[in-house]
């Protein structure tokens, strides 16, 4: 109905996780009703380093244009002139559907506002049926602002008049039926158990399931090889079945990348769950450490892997650990608190290093960020040698964030006052001088002025009050004075 123009809105938002058939559905429906599609294909981007190299070498003809600028120009042309192309063979606008399946990735709030404004104008002004496809990543990364911005973008487009269709993940039974039908048509001999494993590992992503089936058919003996090579007899017997199922090779090779929320990752780091005894077999050539420096094995993946799964940023993770780690330490473990604070201080030092001077060197900054996160997390895990008893803990938001916001607000306010006092000139004193010298004096002068104005009005009341106080003091003896 929508593609044939039977409903009022000209823009349809199609959301759902990756691989649930959003674009395939649009193509199938358009083919069924005989409508042609005009898709926004993102141009091949010019890498910034390549642009800088060409500019320094004097090579002309290659100008750098961001994908957001190109997308804004495309939307502006569609709004003004519609879809005019010789490839449509003169069909009317009603037989053309605009499909936007690759929204530009925005870096920062300002770029996102540009993208949102551009799409809102498109929703309000276009007369061409338009389908905007947005991949829903769920709450896998609550710390990533892009995930929150996509939700805000959808709400803004709906408020502007767009309609919305949500695609649910495909069930395992539907995926198994589809894979079985593909195997029959392609004459592939794949066992039902293997198809079931592929369906469960796909997580509702039919495209991922079909790709996994293709890879498995290319090398069907991969499960046996991986399971035999990954067998480790050093684990406890009661966990052998779970570890074999986890490390069997098939699910790890064909499963989707696991994602964690920020708070799930923080819970793993703060609770610091470890084995009760060291069950890993020691090699004869292993490096031995003193007992006070040794730690039991983790009951989780490596900290760096968890950070990757959570897409954790170094600064928020370090701030959360600063705020909450003491709640997870034993009350008498002063040495543990000192060790944890020392490691977190080292992480803060790494995060503060090269700030300002090398912030444009993304590779150096990424290495420092990764190193700081690793030092903070491993320092908390290593330093918490005497954890508190296992119980429910509420993870608090770092108070440092409120302090930093207040600091930024006060600095901006002082800069504004300095600019106004200098009549537009920025040649006055620094912010620190204003905060420590000028502001206290101005407050003192303002207090003196207000006190002076009130002196004349309350002169009679003050004289009466002083006389009453003198009478009371004359009646009080030394024994009546309370010793504080």
Q: Quick count: other Cβ atoms within 10 Å of Cβ 321?
A: 23
Residue-level pLDDT at 267? 84
Same domain, 143 and 176: no
- Indicate left, alpha or beta for 326 from its phi (over 0: left) and psi (-120 to 50: alpha): alpha
- What is the per-residue DSSP string for 219-231? -TTHHHHHHHHS-
How large is the greatest C-alpha to C-alpha distance in the chain, in angstroms? 112
**CA neighbor of 146 nearest in space, from 13, 305, 313:** 313
Range name among 70-84, 277-291, 428-442 with the lowest pLDDT average: 277-291
Q: What angle do CA 161, 167, 173 make, to 5 degrees?
A: 170
- Residue 225: CB partners within 8 Å, gap ≥ 6? 249
Q: Which residue has the higher pLDDT, 425 or 376?
A: 376
Q: Which residue has the higher pLDDT, 260 or 461?
A: 260
The overall pTM is greater than 0.85: no
In angstroms, rounded to a whole number, what is the distance separating the alpha carbons of residues 376 and 366? Answer: 15
Q: What average pLDDT does this structure show over 148-157?
A: 86
Q: Would you say residue 150 has pLDDT above 80?
A: yes
Burial (CB count <10 Å: 0-12, 13-18, 19+), residue 405: exposed
Same domain, 150 and 50: yes
Residue-level pLDDT at 176? 92
Does any domain span residue 376? yes
Residue with the two structure tokens 């001077």: 357
Residue-level pLDDT at 231? 36
pLDDT per residue as tens digits for the range 308-361? 877 777 888 889 999 999 888 888 889 889 999 999 999 988 888 655 444 445
Does any domain span residue 478? no
Q: Would you say residue 72 has pLDDT above 80?
A: yes
- Choose one of 133, 167, 201: the last residue of a domain: 167
Residue-level pLDDT at 2? 53
In angstroms, rounded to a whole number, what is the distance separating the alpha carbons of residues 124 and 118? Answer: 10
Q: Would you say residue 436 has pLDDT above 70?
A: yes
Does any domain span residue 5? no
In angstroms, rounded to a whole number, what is the distance separating the alpha carbons of residues 206 and 20? Answer: 6
**CA neighbor of 300 nearest in space, from 266, 254, 329, 328:** 266
Q: How confident is the model at residue 179 (pLDDT cuts 50, 70, 90)?
A: very high
Same domain, 379 and 333: yes
Does any domain span residue 227? yes
CB 204 within 8 A of CB 177: no
Q: What percent of the chain has pLDDT over 70?
A: 66
Residue-level pLDDT at 178? 92
Same domain, 347 and 450: no
CB 309 within 8 A of CB 266: no
DSSP state of 326: G
Listed in sequence order, the DSSP H helices in 422-475 are 431-433, 439-457, 459-475
Range name among 231-240, 261-270, 360-369 with the lowest pLDDT average: 231-240
Q: How confident is the model at residue 409 (pLDDT cuts 50, 70, 90)?
A: confident
* Residues forming a β-bridge with 329: 387
What would the two tokens of residue 249 be? 């090779």
Provide the domain limits for residue 444.
Answer: 401-456
Residue-level pLDDT at 282? 52
Does any domain span residue 438? yes
Residue-level pLDDT at 338? 92
- Choose one of 397, 413, 441: the last residue of a domain: 397
Q: What average pLDDT does this structure show over 220-242?
A: 41
DSSP state of 384: -
Residue-level pLDDT at 174? 92
Same domain, 405 and 389: no
Same domain, 24 and 156: yes
Same domain, 24 and 121: yes
The top-scoring range by mean pLDDT among 174-183, 238-247, 344-353, 419-428 is: 174-183
Q: Which residue has the higher pLDDT, 257 or 340?
A: 340
The top-scoring range by mean pLDDT among 65-74, 90-99, 141-150, 338-347 is: 338-347
In angstroms, rounded to a whole number, what is the distance separating the alpha carbons of residues 325 and 341? Answer: 9
In angstroms, rounded to a whole number, what is the distance separating the alpha carbons of residues 55 and 64? Answer: 10
Same domain, 236 and 138: no
In angstroms, rounded to a whole number, what is the distance separating the alpha carbons of residues 177 and 173? Answer: 6
Does any domain span residue 468? no
Does any domain span residue 324? yes
Same domain, 156 and 278: no
Q: Would you say residue 204 has pLDDT above 90?
A: no
Q: Would you say residue 421 has pLDDT above 90?
A: no
**CA neighbor of 13 nearest in space, from 169, 160, 154:** 154
- Give the chain's mean pLDDT: 74
Q: Which residue has the higher pLDDT, 258 or 41?
A: 41
Same domain, 285 and 194: no
Same domain, 229 and 301: no
**CA neighbor of 314 nearest in space, from 369, 248, 258, 389:** 369
Residue-level pLDDT at 285? 58
Same domain, 362 and 420: no
- Choose one of 150, 167, 184: the last residue of a domain: 167
**CA neighbor of 176 nearest in space, from 202, 141, 142:** 202
The total of structural domains in the chain comes to 4
Q: Which residue has the higher pLDDT, 161 or 460?
A: 161
Q: What percent of the chain has pLDDT over 90?
A: 8
Q: Would you say residue 434 has pLDDT above 80?
A: no
Sheet harboring 96-100: ordered strands across?
36-39, 96-100, 130-135, 11-16, 163-167
Residue-level pLDDT at 57? 63
Residue-level pLDDT at 182? 93
Does any domain span residue 4? no
Residue-level pLDDT at 484? 28
Instruction: Give the orientation angle of helix 206-218 with respect to helix 172-186, to 10 degrees.
Output: 40
pLDDT per residue as tens digits for the range 1-46? 555 555 556 889 999 888 888 989 998 988 888 888 888 877 666 6
pLDDT per residue as tens digits for the range 100-149? 887 887 878 888 898 899 999 989 888 888 899 988 876 544 455 667 78
Range name among 91-95, 139-143, 446-450 with the lowest pLDDT average: 139-143
Q: Which residue has the higher pLDDT, 231 or 78?
A: 78
136: domain CATH number is 3.40.50
Range name among 45-49, 171-175, 476-480 with the lowest pLDDT average: 476-480
What would the two tokens of residue 439 be? 């502001």
- What is the per-residue DSSP string for 209-272? HHHHHHHHHH-TTHHHHHHHHS--TTS-GGGHHHHHHHSSSHHHHHSPPP---HHHHHHHHHH-
Residue-level pLDDT at 232? 37
């Amino acid at each position: 109905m929508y593609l044939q123009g039977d409903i009022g809105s000209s823009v349809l938002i199609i959301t759902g996780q990756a691989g649930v058939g959003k674009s395939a559905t649009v193509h199938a429906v358009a083919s069924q009703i005989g409508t042609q599609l005009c898709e926004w294909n993102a141009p091949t981007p010019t890498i910034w380093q390549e642009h800088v190299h060409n500019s320094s070498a004097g090579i002309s003809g290659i100008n750098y244009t961001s994908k957001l600028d190109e997308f804004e120009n495309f939307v502006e042309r569609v709004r003004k002139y519609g879809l005019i192309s010789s490839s449509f063979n003169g069909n009317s606008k009603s037989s053309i559907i605009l499909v936007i399946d690759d929204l530009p990735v925005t870096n920062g709030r300002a770029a996102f506002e540009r993208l949102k404004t551009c799409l809102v104008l498109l929703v309000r002004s276009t007369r061409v049926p338009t389908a905007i496809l947005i991949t829903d990543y769920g709450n896998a990364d609550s710390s990533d602002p892009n995930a929150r911005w996509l939700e805000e973008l959808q709400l803004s487009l709906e408020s502007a008049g767009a309609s919305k269709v949500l695609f649910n993940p495909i069930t395992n039974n539907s995926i198994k039926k589809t894979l079985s039908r593909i195997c029959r048509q392609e004459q592939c001999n794949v066992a039902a158990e293997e198809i079931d494993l592929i369906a469960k590992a796909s997580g509702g992503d039919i495209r991922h399931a079909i790709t996994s089936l293709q890879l498995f058919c290319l090398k069907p003996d991969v499960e046996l090889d991986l399971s035999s090579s990954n067998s480790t007899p050093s684990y406890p017997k009661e966990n052998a079945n779970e570890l074999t199922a986890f490390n069997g090779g098939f699910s790890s090779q064909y499963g989707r990348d696991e994602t964690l929320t920020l708070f799930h990752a923080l819970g793993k780091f703060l609770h610091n769950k470890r084995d009760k005894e060291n069950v890993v077999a020691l090699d004869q050539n292993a490096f031995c450490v003193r007992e006070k420096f040794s730690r039991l094995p983790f009951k989780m993946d490596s900290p760096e892997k968890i950070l990757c799964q959570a897409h954790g940023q170094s600064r928020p993770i370090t701030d959360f650990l600063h705020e909450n780690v003491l709640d997870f330490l034993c009350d008498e473990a002063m040495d543990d608190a000192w060790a944890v604070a020392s490691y977190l201080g080292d992480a803060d030092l790494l995060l503060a290093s090269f700030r300002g001077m090398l912030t444009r060197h993304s590779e150096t900054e990424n290495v420092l960020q990764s190193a700081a996160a690793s030092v903070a997390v491993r320092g908390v895990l290593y330093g918490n040698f005497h954890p508190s008893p296992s119980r429910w803990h509420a993870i608090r938001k770092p108070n440092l964030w409120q302090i930093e916001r207040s600091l930024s607000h006060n600095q901006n306010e002082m800069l504004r006052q300095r600019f106004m006092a200098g009549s537009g000139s920025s040649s006055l004193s620094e912010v620190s001088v204003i905060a420590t010298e000028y502001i206290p004096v101005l407050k003192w002068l303002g207090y003196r002025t207000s006190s002076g104005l009130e002196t004349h009005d309350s002169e009679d009341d003050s004289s009466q009050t002083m006389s009453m106080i003198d009478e009371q003091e004359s009646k009080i003896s030394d024994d009546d004075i309370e010793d504080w």
